[in-house]
């Protein structure tokens, strides 16, 4: 997607220019993983015009393989982002109807071929929210992935402004999630996507009680025994400029709790959840028998994301490890 945002905290009506980047849930995960040094392929559909090309180039610079992206369709999806500050919330205007990906049909994707040599598949709940075709495409992909013993991770990613084609997440997502090995969500996703109500918590207080979510992950685990790992991100929203951030991870044996980070000056919070997903995928692959470390890597990684302009988490593994070791001092090394 093309993201257009007024610079310097300006409102939409004040803007005489928009900052231009390209991003979106799955793309953000792909770039983050490529930054961590993993080989990554990203599959989507983009229009065969200069904006589609610009999007491909934008992804490619970070090392994401874009060769399997399908060119076609009428337009690139757009979202307009007004960046908030203090008490003023960020605002998003979606303009993604009839985008190249929204009008994709199952026959465009050859999953047998796409998954050749692939060991991990990540998708998010945004895709099946767009159209029945995309829900079907997801199902196709998941079935093929499963058949090839590919590890599957899913970010539930509930978006209330999507799901306009007559289905609700609860109609679609449970089946798709049943193919997955790892599920990631926040307190809202569990309820809206899987129908599992989280305990009432004041997310605006800045003090999210991680322990209250333990029942949620256990309930999810019971309903979806296929899930080897269930992770919940915990965002405390003190203001648009000041958040806290943490997460928990459940591996069917025990629940792991991450440290809470205080992010007192946020540069860009979009892509925070995606950077958590990427961090977790990296962590589960690289710190295999230490779920605590994988979780901590995911949380530290997304803590850093909040300091980086754009959707993408442009940090290296070393930078994340430094945060994990507790150095948030921001001291210049020289």
- Report the C-alpha gap between 208 and 211 in whole angstroms: 9
Here's the x/- map for its own copies, 118-147, by CB under 8 A: it reads as ------------------------------
Q: What is the DSSP letter of 180?
A: -
65 binds its own copies (CB under 8 A): no
Residues of span 154-193 touching its own copies by CB under 8 A: 159-161
Determine the Cα–Cα distance for residues 17 and 109; give it in Å rounded to an integer. 37
Give the contact letters, 88-107, x = binds to its own copies (CB under 8 A), - = no.
Answer: xxxxxxxx-xx---------
Site for its own copies in 248-277 (CB under 8 A): 261, 263-267, 269-270
Find out whether 187 and 214 touch, Cβ atoms under 8 Å: no
39, 74, 197, 209: residue in contact with its own copies (rule CB under 8 A): 74
CA distance linking residue 295 with residue 114, whole number of Å? 29
Q: Is 62 in the site for its own copies (CB under 8 A)?
A: yes
Residue 15 or 139 having the CB closest to its own copies: 15
Ranges within 194-223 binding its own copies (CB under 8 A): 203-204
Which residue among 48, 68, 71, 86 contacts its own copies (CB under 8 A)? 86
Shortest distance, position 53 Cβ to its own copies, whole Å: 6
310 binds its own copies (CB under 8 A): yes
Distance CA 114, CA 144 (A): 10
Least Å from the CB of residue 269 to its own copies: 8
CA distance 140 to 155: 18
Task: Check: CB of residue 282 under 8 Å from CB of residue 302.
Answer: no
Q: How far is the CB of 251 from its own copies (least distance, A)?
A: 27
Candidates 79-87, 106-114, 211-219, 249-257: pick the segment binding its own copies (CB under 8 A): 79-87
User: CA 27, CA 312: separation in Å to the nearest integer?
Assistant: 8
Site for its own copies in 222-241 (CB under 8 A): 237-241
Q: What is the DSSP string of 206-233?
A: S---GGGGHHHHHHHHHH-TT-SEEEEE
Q: Which stretch binds its own copies (CB under 8 A): 116-124, 189-197, 276-284, 300-308?
A: 300-308
Span between the terminal Cα atoms of the chain, in Å = 38
* CA separation for the pair 135, 173 (Å, rounded): 9
Residues binding its own copies: number (CB under 8 A): 85
């Amino acid at each position: 997607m093309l993201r257009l945002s007024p610079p310097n905290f300006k409102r939409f009506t004040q803007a005489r220019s928009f900052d231009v980047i390209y991003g979106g849930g799955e793309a953000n995960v792909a770039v983050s993983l490529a930054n961590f040094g993993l080989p990554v392929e990203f599959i989507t559909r983009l229009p065969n015009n200069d904006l589609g090309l610009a999007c491909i180039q934008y992804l490619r610079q970070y090392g994401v393989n874009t060769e399997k992206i399908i060119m076609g369709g009428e337009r690139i999806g757009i979202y307009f982002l007004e960046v908030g500050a203090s008490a003023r919330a960020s605002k998003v205007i979606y303009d993604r109807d009839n985008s190249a990906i929204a009008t994709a049909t199952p026959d465009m994707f050859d999953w047998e071929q796409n998954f050749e040599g692939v060991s991990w598949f990540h998708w998010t709940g945004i895709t099946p929210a767009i159209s029945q075709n995309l829900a079907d495409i997801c199902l196709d992909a998941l079935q093929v992935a499963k058949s090839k013993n590919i590890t599957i991770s899913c970010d539930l990613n509930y978006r209330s402004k999507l799901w306009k084609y007559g289905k609700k997440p609860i109609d679609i997502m449970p089946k798709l999630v049943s193919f997955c090995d790892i599920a990631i969500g926040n307190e809202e996703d569990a309820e809206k996507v899987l129908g599992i109500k989280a305990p009432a918590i004041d997310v605006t207080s800045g003090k999210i009680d991680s322990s209250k979510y333990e029942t949620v992950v256990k309930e999810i685990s019971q309903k979806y025994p296929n899930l080897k790992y269930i992770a919940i991100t915990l965002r405390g929203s003190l203001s648009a400029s000041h958040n806290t951030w943490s997460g928990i991870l459940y591996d069917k044996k025990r629940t792991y709790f991450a440290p809470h980070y205080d992010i007192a000056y946020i540069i860009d919070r979009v892509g925070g959840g995606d950077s958590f997903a990427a961090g977790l995928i990296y962590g589960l692959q690289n710190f295999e028998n230490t779920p605590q470390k994988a979780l901590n890597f995911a949380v530290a990684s997304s803590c850093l994301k909040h300091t980086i302009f754009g959707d993408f988490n442009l940090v290296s593994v070393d930078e994340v490890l430094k945060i994990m070791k507790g150095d948030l001092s921001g001291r210049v090394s020289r």
